[in-house]
Amino acid sequence: MLDAYDITVSLGRTQILHGLGFRAQAGQLSAIVGPNGSGKTTLLRAITGDVPFGGSVTLNDADTRALKPWDLAAIRGVLPQSAVLAFPFTVIEVVRLGLQKGLSAAETDISMAALERVSLAHYADRFFQELSGGEQQRVHLARVLAQVWQPVQDGVPHWLLLDEPVASLDIANQLEVMEIARGYANAGGGVVAVMHDLNLTAMFADHVAILSGGRCLAAGHPKEVMTDAILSKAYGCKLQVNTPPHTDTTFVLPHTAQRV
């Protein structure tokens, strides 16, 4: 289980998160949604330890601040929002950077399998910097997958922490990435994803936390919490949630841009 308890984060004089709580179970895809500036990414960055925070974050019952970087890296991979890379590494070399210590670089099996998982195996020998933004994002996902390749190892669940994993992708790749995340959760791993796309969230997530103004407005199964009232309140505009006939998933329809 991932348990973020009473999280407060301040950047400069601005308090961004106000004693926020967030829980995610292994075997589930948990989404964090909310409008711009609601604190989604900041919450994820507190969970990954990238920003100083008050409160506590435990991952598989261990305080993340007490774990050594290598031990933490062994149980959770983090996909950042924007991908940077210095120096001309090739795609496969970038994926191998994620491999755990102790695995020899010659063990390309995992890295190649990870690249195949994101459908980019044929780009293995290309220079990373020659790829498009969306492709680079998928290479980084492959690197993260290579890092925590087994969703569960010796009974211990591993975690994918994804910051807007589909932000720069076309619709086919969005679906592919969400399927990868879904598959990881189905295999027993834990997935936490910061999402902008409410429809993909409704389609793939088991659990969603809706943030607004640095607080958690509602959390639960998408069908329970993604309602007209809650979403309209969170985003400050009129939204309508529907279920199309013959399907099980809800979808969110923008109504007007008029602020409510």
Partner 1 sequence: MAADIASQGTSARTVSRRPADRLRRARFAHLVLGLLLICVSVISLTVGATDITLTDALGKIMRGEPLSRMERVVLLDIRLPRLAMGLCVGAALAVSGAVMQGLFRNPLADPGLVGVGAGAGLGAIGAIVLGSFLPVAFIDTFGNQLIPIAAFFGGWITTLLLYRVSTRNGRTSVATMLLAGIALAALAGALSGILVYMADDRQLRDLTFWGLGSLAGASWSKVAAAAPIILLSILAASFLGRGLNGLALGEATAAHIGHSVQRLKNGSILLVAAATGAAVAVSGGIGFIGIVVPHLLRLATGPDHRTLLINAALLGATLLVAADMIARVIIAPAELPIGIITAVLGAPVFLWILLRRRDLVDM
Binding site for partner 1 (CB under 8 A): 48-50, 68-70, 72-74, 77-78, 80, 83-90, 92-94, 97-98, 100-101, 105-106, 108, 122, 124-127, 130, 143, 147
Which run of H or of E encompasses 2? strand 2-11
Q: Is the dihedral of CA 46, 49, 53, 59 positive or negative?
A: positive
CB 198, min distance to partner 1, A: 27
CB 245, min distance to partner 1, A: 37
Give strand ranges (E) for 158-244: 159-163, 190-194, 207-212, 215-220, 237-242
CB 64, min distance to partner 1, A: 12
CB 192, min distance to partner 1, A: 14
β 54-59/62-63 pair status: antiparallel
Which residue, 87 or 154, has its beta carbon nearer to partner 1? Answer: 87
CB 23, min distance to partner 1, A: 21
Q: Answer whether 209's CB lies under 8 Å from 48's CB.
A: no
Which residue, 44 or 211, has its beta carbon nearer to partner 1? Answer: 44
What's at 98, amino acid-wise? G
Which residue, 63 or 130, has its beta carbon nearer to partner 1? Answer: 130
Q: What are phi and psi of 146, to 5 degrees?
A: -65, -35
Length of the chain as a residue count = 260
Which residue, 15 or 90, has its beta carbon nearer to partner 1? Answer: 90
Which residue, 189 or 222, has its beta carbon nearer to partner 1? Answer: 189
**How far apart, in whole angstroms, are the C-alpha atoms of residue 134 and residue 63?**
34
**How far apart, in whole angstroms, are the C-alpha atoms of residue 81 and residue 61?**
27
Which residue, 72 or 185, has its beta carbon nearer to partner 1? Answer: 72
CB 208, min distance to partner 1, A: 24
User: DSSP character for 38?
Assistant: S
CA distances from 78 to 49, 147, 248, 250 (A): 11, 9, 31, 28
